[in-house]
Structure 1
């Protein structure tokens, strides 16, 4: 049996983190393909202009605001989309944040917040939507990771940790999702020019315009395999770097990012001072 792949004729595409960056661009690309697109973002991140920009496209975009860290509300959002628009056949879990975590300035809440949004924010939507897909015996799920999942980078102990966890989540679920005719893909983009990467403290080789990254994602969703990664001149060297002995890999990354020469910053006072 050929594993199911979403089609705009079959139902709705749902995108989390759809108010800006890749999520917003992908919503436009999927609407252009004819999907009815449900976009979820925070109440404070309106998508009014997105609705106007896509009004004349073959598909339509509808806003379903929600905080992805709210488990009960995410389940209610899935139910609302299914009731108002139809069955969710494609779920793209794109919502995420980046909080820099340099080793000399570690804060537990930064790690907790990163996992609440990037990892549990996926699970809060994945669990209820997969239940609907399981009953229908078909579905398509996309988890958005990052090339930072391949190895440790400076300042990404929290962010990269969440993306590595997302990759393992996708690999682990694939065994059983295949049996339920639910396709799972993980998309690991390189550096993309979005509001998220504006907070990055590192050099970003191969920085891609967001519209190009979105189109690569849309093509990958339409015809790609389990993992979709781009651009190749960044992602594949990073994959190969992960095969080298760890000390060599850390040395190369430290040299590439100029982190070897970076002095430690102890401006923040220790707790209690």
Structure 2
């Protein structure tokens, strides 16, 4: 076992170069503003350049790099532009996401493909882009924003949930591969956060947090060097415990919770 924290404690942000992918709204935008206040040097990426420009106004010196994460060629182009400004990022944060609440009988090929491409394929494209330089320097870190929806199969997350489960699995594998090479891997599993994505939900969301609360929780977890940064605990811990129940009990519990009142 590794003694102490599993990852480097990221507590001093002044001058630290952070590439935030998915920074145009929600948790990504709030995290960008929080890091800017701490003195980090930021590169901000997402598809919507106008929204990125709005966030960048609150982040002095930030570099705006529009990027469609589902396009492998776009990653290479953004990387070339970033390399003209920076030697290399110290931290890359993957927080781009797509979500559509769906039950199994509501699946549509185009929507399913878009969610998988954004939430999972885009992360792989990004890893192919940034890992060679990080491996060569034996320095840097990766932050993967997954979700407690990846802990187990939850209704309404028919495509989103499996992509987040895959990200949790991927973060674990990345840690085992990259930790011996001096790289940090941080897994973020939020509960419900008030964002444009969760605004699509028509059900009650327990322990709903603001993006600003989420950003503070992420910075605290990075500062402590945690591998998994899950919040809020009053919501995420019961879900993790439920994921360990035998299937018969778990299915019965979820079925009861989903019944109309």
State the match for 1:266 in structure 2. none
CA separation of 1:39/1:70 partners in 2, compared to 1, >3 Å: closer, same or farther?
A: same
State the match for 1:260 in structure 2. 259
Query: What CA RMSD, in Å, does the superposition of the two structures yield over aligned residues?
Result: 1.9
For 2:36, which of 31, 34, 42 is the aligned residue?
31
CA shift for structure 1 position 43: 3.7
CA shift for structure 1 position 158: 0.3
In structure 2, runs of 5+ residues without a counterpart are: none
- CA–CA distance in structure 2, aligned partners of residues 212 and 67 of structure 1: 27
- 1:234 paired to 2:239: no
| 1:100–1:200 Cα contact (<8 Å) kept | yes
| 2:23–2:46 Cα contact (<8 Å) kept | yes
Deviations 1:171-225 (Å, cap 9, x if unpaired)?
Answer: 1121110121111111000000011100124321000011111110111122231
- CA–CA distance in structure 1, aligned partners of residues 134 and 94 of structure 2: 15
| 1:4–1:181 Cα contact (<8 Å) kept | no
State the match for 1:40 in structure 2. 45
CA separation of 1:152/1:45 partners in 2, compared to 1, >3 Å: closer, same or farther?
A: farther
Which ranges of 4 or more aligned residues in structure 1 deviate by more than 6 Å? none
* TM-score after normalising by structure 1: 0.88
| 1:36–1:85 Cα contact (<8 Å) kept | no
CA separation of 1:213/1:134 partners in 2, compared to 1, >3 Å: closer, same or farther?
A: same
For 2:55, which of 47, 50, 57 is the aligned residue?
50
CA shift for structure 1 position 3: 5.3
- CA–CA distance in structure 1, aligned partners of residues 189 and 128 of structure 2: 21
CA shift for structure 1 position 253: 2.4
Aligned pairs for 1:16-165 (under 5 A) are 16-43=21-48, 45-55=50-60, 60-165=61-166
| 2:15–2:39 Cα contact (<8 Å) kept | no
CA shift for structure 1 position 159: 0.3
| 1:4–1:138 Cα contact (<8 Å) kept | no
| 2:22–2:44 Cα contact (<8 Å) kept | yes
Where 2:29 maps in the other structure, the secondary structure is helix
Q: How many residues align?
A: 256
For 1:12, which of 17, 26, 31 is the aligned residue?
17
State the match for 2:251 in structure 1. 250
CA separation of 1:238/1:3 partners in 2, compared to 1, >3 Å: closer, same or farther?
A: closer
CA separation of 1:3/1:150 partners in 2, compared to 1, >3 Å: closer, same or farther?
A: closer
In structure 1, runs of 5+ residues without a counterpart are: 263-273
More helix per residue: 2
| 2:25–2:51 Cα contact (<8 Å) kept | no
* TM-score after normalising by structure 2: 0.91
| 1:187–1:229 Cα contact (<8 Å) kept | yes
- CA–CA distance in structure 2, aligned partners of residues 236 and 173 of structure 1: 23
- CA–CA distance in structure 2, aligned partners of residues 44 and 141 of structure 1: 23
| 1:10–1:89 Cα contact (<8 Å) kept | no
Structure possessing the higher radius of gyration over alpha carbons: 1
